[in-house]
A and B are shown apart, each in its own frame.
Chain A
Amino acid sequence: MSNNIGITTENLPRVIGQTMDFDTTGEWNSITMISGQLDLGAIISDENGTIGVCSGFTRDENNNPIYTIRTVTLDTQIDVQAILGKSY
């Protein structure tokens, strides 16, 4: 069995513990699984180095699946550079 790991072109929340929903009408298509399948526990990384874990799976009123990704770690360098780039 291989790990369930994928990447998304969406930006995951930059706060540890925050969640983001991916549904079939929008963001869900941004996920490309590298191995395994998108399911609970799947590790999803975005292009900023933010890593989330699929922590929830529900369906809407049309039975479309909604996957919840919880941010579990992130790369702080980009935040520092963003802060330094600000003008005061």
Chain B
Amino acid sequence: MSYSVEWIEPIFDRTYGDVQILEMDTMNSNTKGAYNYNDLNRIEQNTKYCMEYMVDHRIIRVPPSMAIKMNWVETDIPTRDDMIRIVRNVMILMESSNPVIKENFTELHEATQFTYQVANAIEHNLDLMHNQPDLPIQKWLLTIENGIIQEYGVSSAQIAEDETVHIQGVPYGENAQYMIFTNWSGETDDLQYVGDVNSQVTTFQMVYHDSENYEVKLTANFKTRFPRTLTLHGGTIYDDIGGTTRQFFAGDEIRLLADIAAPGKVFYEWQGTEEGLENLTGGAEPSTSWLTMPDCDVELTSFYINAGQHSVTVDGTIQGWYDYGENVYLSASSRGSKWSFAYWSGDTAYLDDVTSNSLTMPDINISFTSHWDYNYSYNTVTMVQGTIDGESIIENAKEQSSHQIIAPAAPEGKVFGKWILEGVGRFLDSESSTTTFYVGDGNAVIDCEFVDTKTVTIENEDNNGGTRTFLVGVGKPYSISTTTVLSDYMFDYWTKDGTRYGSSSHYSRITMGETDVTYHAYYRDRNSYNLTVNNGTGSGVYKERQSVSISANDPPEGYNWSGWSGNYYSITNRYNMTTSITMPSNDCEVTANYSKPSDPDPKPYHNLIVINGSGSGSYREGTTVRCYGDQAPDTYEFAYWTEGDDIISYSNPMSITMGTEDRTVQANYKPIPYFNVTVINGKLADGTTSGSFLRNSNPQIIMDPAPDGMKFLQWEIITGDDNDVYQPLSENTTIRNLTHDVVVQATYYVPNPDIKYTLTITGKDGEIKTNNYPIGEQVDIRADSPDEGWEFTKWTGDTQYVNDPYSEEAVVNMPGKNITLGMKYTEIGAIPTYHVFLEGGKIKMPDEEDRWEFEGEFEEGTVLTIKADDPMLGWEFVQWKKPENASADDKSEETVANLTEPETTLQVRNFKITLSVVWKEKDKYIMTVNDGFGSGSYYPDQPVQIYFNLEDTQTNHYKFTRWSGDDIAYLELMDGKAFDVFKPEEQAVKMPSRNIEITALYDVSYLLSINSIENGYYLEGEKIQISAEEVEGKTFRYWDGDIDCVDNRYNPNIVVTMPKGSVNLIPVYSNTNERNNIGYTLTSLYDNDTILQEDIIIISGEIGTGFMITDIDGHIYVITSMTESQINILRLTSKNTGTDIT
């Protein structure tokens, strides 16, 4: 530390002599005996220096308050108080000085007179103080609550100034295992010397404190957290560990990530444990969210819905489109006061009960049919005459109930005429005296009237010559009838009151007149007539109305049976060669007719050759032949038909008419162009963000997980057409029918209703309406009513957020930006255009060579060529069909010339035409490739890569020979060439429409090893001669290992017959140096202690100590020692001596 003043060397050796010198020369102020302003300044300055020194060295804790004057000048006259102050300053410092120097101080007292002794004492003491030693090291108490001082092992200790210790927080109590350190707390001045207040183990440095009693108190803080289980369904824990079920502690911050929705779906919300849902950042709606783990187990499930709004149809009419979860009120049209709603049928699973009129909207289209109860009235029926149910009056008769009414007996000379009704109701038969009355919606009074009777007389009825009479009321109906044919007579005619009436044998509902009437039936003889059957049998003479069987002759050569003709009365079946006729009342002629074949002179045949297609054959001139081009090779599509160098058609299939000579036509193909798809905030099916795809393909797009706290809004087209995304509201969907480059972006939003954007709609007359909506809000919009003579055409502007831009009533999916919409109207009478939209097919743009679009606006009457997209592999076209959600009266299908042809025409009519293609998956067939690659299930014509796939192993070598199997006959390569049965390498065959099984034939050779050393690969049954190696010092004994395949395991030279598998043979040897040391002698060594070396016959080993010797007596000896001249032996066997036989 530097001080504010410098130390000045003091003077404290003044003597009385110095004073005397001064006294002798009082003007000499430079003498030591004089104390002038310089001396005062020095003392004052040194005093200040000493004070700063002592403060610096912490000998003084608190700098004392001192008045120090360091600007003494020559003219200044020190006062008494100055003197006292100077001395007192020094004494204060002396008092505070290190005790070790105090004993050296010169005694100093306050004095008003500055003697040389006082001056010496001041400066001497200052000299001692200006570099006095430091005080001993000072310590202060450090106390750790909930922890220890590691160096001392206790929680409280005296820590020296500048000493640094490690402090450690220690969990405490019964829940210590669940306690987590949070931070250190204490006085702010102390915490600044804690190394890291957030570390459980850290450092603390004790600093100087003014007070000796200062105490530092630090507290380790913990929070107690019990482990809780988090289980996710349809989501993952989004951290480095991941997983769906983990343990956490209450308060942990956990990032959750919902799984990507299945195609067509969109994440809706998290569902599950309530405490978990309450602790999700931003609520349950963000698909990527942070969960603050509550103090309980949590199980959450990501819940998905079908994207977009869905319709509610009531009694066949779409009532509206609704968001998932929206409250919907079902409203059926009233049928008037006579009907009361009874119940709903249809998707009643979404209703609390079948009579409920409200529901919570599901994520599918639903429909209901209302059922009503008729409100019957109860009425009174009063009979003026006659009875009803036996009574003259009935009350509370239910509407529509039936009751028998009976008229009273008719007065003399009269009969019942009819019932007369006043009020409501109806009669079953108002002219019947006993009938049924149906009660109406009100009371009824019933009366009846009677009429006078008149007589009807029938004469000669059935030619019986008699007379029959009956009475009929005036104005009432009656009938007359007689038999037409009697055995020899025929009815001829009626007369009425003598006048010819008619020739019909029966008349009904003749109204009775005011007078009696007489009818007479006249008969005549029944005549016979000739029947002539031409070209058949049955001719003869027959009576009128007689039934006659007739048969036709067989048709003449070159003719076919045609049918009967003639003037018969009737015929049973004119097209049967044998039938029957009824004779007329005249001669009859019937003819069996025959006809010639229509084309007795067929035209000649000519050959049609269809290259790259079907339809080849021989056809007669003028025959129309349908030619189908083969399926285009991969990445190609049909282009046109040619005949010679001429392009004859762009349609496939096409129809051609055979001329007078052979024809050869060829289907030609062209490459399908590729288009680029780029996905922002998402990826393609292969995980990349961009790729090239064939035209008309439908690449899948999948959104990236939503950012924290957000959820998916919709796909937005950056480059392309508004309709390019199949389901813009689904997280996982496809680009529709790719016909150009597309850049598409997944957009997200924070599900916060407070964040709103503006929807601006410009009306028909320019009126601008603006409203603010939260992102994701489904806003119903309705176009202004068109002026007279005009009609709404479509919405304009940011229509990619509109579910149906061509509908007057549509829904806007509010994005995270301001959008504008306008309305377009078309004057009626102007040449209108109509929207044609194909899903799964394309429209050939009129007057353009080769431009196909999936939608367009066309004038009524325009005939368009439409073509279904090339089917996906394994699928085939079935038909054109209107969308499933189309109304019953949608006539889109009526505009198509042939609904079952993939390429056909469509005539635009005065309505919007929407058609989709119905596809059907083809049957699959099984390819079985034994010992080869290619087995599996495939669609017909699908390319299948086939190759021999047995790979050599260390023990087996495979050599392909050929493919076998009867089904080879059905294999053909994709390029039309024949399948090469001798080719083991990859061949692409076209899957036939049948199951196929082929087998690879091959030779396999196996490894022969000798002592695990590779010898070679040999076929099964192959014989190989091998020999055991001769090894010095060893004798071959036998073969070990896979010895089943050797002829003699003890023979060092063997023949191996190769089995089906690898072989390892191991020659086993005995070591010469491991033989026993043993020999024998041909003499008896009994009682000998030595043996001559030449007498030893060695069997094996070497003669030496321990060498065993046997003699001719069968005794065994061992050499115990040997010298150059003598071999000493010891007999090991004892001699058996016999004993007495008892």
- From A36, A39, A53, A77, contact of B1110 by CB (8 A): A53
Q: A40 with B1099: in contact, given A1-B1074, A24-B1050, A63-B1048 (CB under 8 Å)?
A: yes
Q: Check if B1051 sits within 8 Å of A62, measured CB to CB.
A: yes
Which residues of A have CB within 8 Å of B496?
none
Task: Tell me if A8 is interfacial: C-beta within 8 Å of chain B.
Answer: no
For the side of the interface on B, what is the size category? 20 to 34
Task: Tell me if A20 is interfacial: C-beta within 8 Å of chain B.
Answer: no
Which residues of A have CB within 8 Å of B1076?
3-4, 36, 41-43, 53
Q: Give complex CA distance A17, B1113 in Å.
A: 9
- From B1074, B1078, B1114, B1136, contact of A77 by CB (8 A): B1136
Task: Tell me if A34 is interfacial: C-beta within 8 Å of chain B.
Answer: no
Q: Give complex CA distance A65, B1051 in Å.
A: 8
Q: Give complex CA distance A21, B941 in Å.
A: 78
Q: Check if A55 sits within 8 Å of B1075, measured CB to CB.
A: no
Which residues of A have CB within 8 Å of B1141?
84
Q: Check if A73 sits within 8 Å of B1110, measured CB to CB.
A: yes
Q: Check if B1100 sits within 8 Å of A64, measured CB to CB.
A: no
Q: Quick one: closest A residue to B1080, CB to CB?
A: A72
Q: Check if B1074 sits within 8 Å of A39, measured CB to CB.
A: yes
Q: Check if B1051 sits within 8 Å of A73, measured CB to CB.
A: no
Q: Check if A80 sits within 8 Å of B1138, measured CB to CB.
A: yes
Q: Give complex CA distance A55, B1115 in Å.
A: 17
Min CB gap B1032→A, angstroms: 16
Task: Tell me if A48 is interfacial: C-beta within 8 Å of chain B.
Answer: no
Min CB gap A32→B, angstroms: 15
Q: Give complex CA distance A3, B1115 in Å.
A: 19
Q: Check if B1075 sits within 8 Å of A4, measured CB to CB.
A: yes
Which residues of A have CB within 8 Å of B1050?
24, 63-65
Task: Tell me if A76 is interfacial: C-beta within 8 Å of chain B.
Answer: yes
| Binary CB contact string for chain B from 1067 to 1096 against chain A (1 if under 8 A, 0 otherwise) | 000101011111010100000000000000
Q: Check if A17 sits within 8 Å of B1112, measured CB to CB.
A: yes
Task: Tell me if B838 is interfacial: C-beta within 8 Å of chain A.
Answer: no
Q: Check if B1037 sits within 8 Å of A65, measured CB to CB.
A: yes
Q: A16 with B1048: in contact, given A3-B1076, A41-B1101, A76-B1136 (CB under 8 Å)?
A: no
Q: Check if B1100 sits within 8 Å of A72, measured CB to CB.
A: no
Which residues of B have CB within 8 Å of A1?
1074
Min CB gap A73→B, angstroms: 4
B1029-1080 contacts to A, CB under 8 A, are 1035, 1037, 1048, 1050-1053, 1070, 1072, 1074-1078, 1080
Task: Tell me if B1133 is interfacial: C-beta within 8 Å of chain A.
Answer: yes
Which residues of B have CB within 8 Å of A71?
1114
Which residues of B have CB within 8 Å of A63?
1048, 1050-1053
Q: Check if A72 sits within 8 Å of B1051, measured CB to CB.
A: no
Q: Quick one: closest A residue to B1101, CB to CB?
A: A41
Q: Check if B1099 sits within 8 Å of A55, measured CB to CB.
A: yes
Q: Check if B1100 sits within 8 Å of A43, measured CB to CB.
A: no
A31-88 contacts to B, CB under 8 A, are 36-43, 51, 53-55, 57, 62-65, 70-74, 76-77, 80, 84
Which residues of A have CB within 8 Å of B1080?
17, 53, 55, 70, 72
Min CB gap B30→A, angstroms: 117
Q: Quick one: closest A residue to B1075, CB to CB?
A: A41
Which residues of B have CB within 8 Å of A24?
1050
Task: Tell me if B913 is interfacial: C-beta within 8 Å of chain A.
Answer: no
Min CB gap A16→B, angstroms: 4
| Binary CB contact string for chain B from 1097 to 1132 against chain A (1 if under 8 A, 0 otherwise) | 001110000000010111110000000000000000
Which residues of B have CB within 8 Å of A3?
1076
Which residues of B have CB within 8 Å of A37?
1037, 1070, 1074
Which residues of A have CB within 8 Å of B1113?
16
Q: Check if B1100 sits within 8 Å of A40, measured CB to CB.
A: yes
- From A17, A62, A73, A84, contact of B1115 by CB (8 A): A73
Q: Quick one: closest A residue to B1069, CB to CB?
A: A37
Min CB gap A23→B, angstroms: 9
Q: Quick one: closest B residue to A72, CB to CB?
A: B1110
Which residues of A have CB within 8 Å of B1100?
39-41, 54
For the side of the interface on A, what is the size category? 20 to 34
Q: Check if B1112 sits within 8 Å of A16, measured CB to CB.
A: yes
Q: Quick one: closest B residue to A23, CB to CB?
A: B1050
Most chain B beta carbons < 10 A, residue from A16, A43, A51 = A16
Q: Quick one: closest B residue to A74, CB to CB?
A: B1114
B858-906 contacts to A, CB under 8 A, are none
Which residues of A have CB within 8 Å of B1099?
40-41, 53-55, 70
Which residues of B have CB within 8 Å of A80?
1138
Q: Give complex CA distance A36, B1115 in Å.
A: 23
Q: Quick one: closest B residue to A73, CB to CB?
A: B1114
Q: Quick one: closest A residue to B1047, CB to CB?
A: A62
Q: Check if B1078 sits within 8 Å of A41, measured CB to CB.
A: yes
Q: Give complex CA distance A47, B597 in Å.
A: 114
B958-980 contacts to A, CB under 8 A, are none
Q: Quick one: closest A residue to B1114, CB to CB?
A: A73
Q: Give complex CA distance A71, B1115 in Å.
A: 11
Min CB gap A75→B, angstroms: 9
Q: Give complex CA distance A76, B133 in Å.
A: 114
Q: Quick one: closest B residue to A1, CB to CB?
A: B1074
Which residues of B have CB within 8 Å of A54?
1099-1100
Q: Give complex CA distance A19, B1037 in Å.
A: 21
Q: Check if B1133 sits within 8 Å of A73, measured CB to CB.
A: yes
Which residues of A have CB within 8 Å of B1114?
16, 71-74
Q: Check if A62 sits within 8 Å of B1035, measured CB to CB.
A: no
Q: Quick one: closest B residue to A36, CB to CB?
A: B1074
| Binary CB contact string for chain B from 991 to 1016 against chain A (1 if under 8 A, 0 otherwise) | 00000000000000000000000000
Which residues of B have CB within 8 Å of A77?
1136
Q: Give complex CA distance A59, B1053 in Å.
A: 12
Q: Give complex CA distance A50, B1113 in Å.
A: 13
Q: Check if B1053 sits within 8 Å of A72, measured CB to CB.
A: no
Q: Give complex CA distance A69, B1070 in Å.
A: 17
Q: Quick one: closest B residue to A84, CB to CB?
A: B1141
Q: Give complex CA distance A42, B1136 in Å.
A: 26
Q: Give complex CA distance A76, B1110 in Å.
A: 16
Q: Give complex CA distance A41, B1099 in Å.
A: 6
Q: Check if A43 sits within 8 Å of B1078, measured CB to CB.
A: yes
Q: Give complex CA distance A73, B1101 in Å.
A: 20
B818-870 contacts to A, CB under 8 A, are none
Q: Give complex CA distance A36, B1071 in Å.
A: 10
Which residues of A have CB within 8 Å of B1078?
41, 43, 53
Q: Give complex CA distance A55, B1097 in Å.
A: 10
Q: Give complex CA distance A3, B1077 in Å.
A: 9
Q: Give complex CA distance A46, B1114 in Å.
A: 15
Most chain A beta carbons < 10 A, residue from B1048, B1100, B1141 = B1100
Q: Check if B1074 sits within 8 Å of A4, measured CB to CB.
A: yes
Which residues of A have CB within 8 Å of B1112?
16-17
Which residues of B have CB within 8 Å of A55?
1080, 1099
Q: Quick one: closest B residue to A43, CB to CB?
A: B1076
- From B1075, B1077, B1082, B1116, contact of A39 by CB (8 A): B1075
Which residues of A have CB within 8 Å of B1037?
37-39, 65
Which residues of A have CB within 8 Å of B1101?
41
Q: Give complex CA distance A36, B1072 in Å.
A: 12
A-B contact pairs, 17 of them (CB 8 A): A16-B1113, A24-B1050, A37-B1037, A37-B1070, A38-B1037, A38-B1070, A39-B1072, A39-B1075, A41-B1076, A53-B1078, A53-B1099, A63-B1050, A70-B1099, A71-B1114, A72-B1110, A72-B1114, A84-B1141
Closest 10 CB pairs of A and B: A41-B1100, A72-B1110, A41-B1076, A73-B1114, A63-B1051, A40-B1100, A41-B1075, A39-B1070, A16-B1114, A41-B1078
* Interface residues of B, Cβ cutoff 8 Å to A: 1035, 1037, 1048, 1050-1053, 1070, 1072, 1074-1078, 1080, 1082, 1099-1101, 1110, 1112-1116, 1133, 1136, 1138, 1141
Known: A53-B1099, A72-B1114. 9 other contacts (CB 8 A): A4-B1074, A4-B1076, A17-B1080, A36-B1074, A40-B1075, A54-B1100, A63-B1053, A64-B1048, A71-B1114
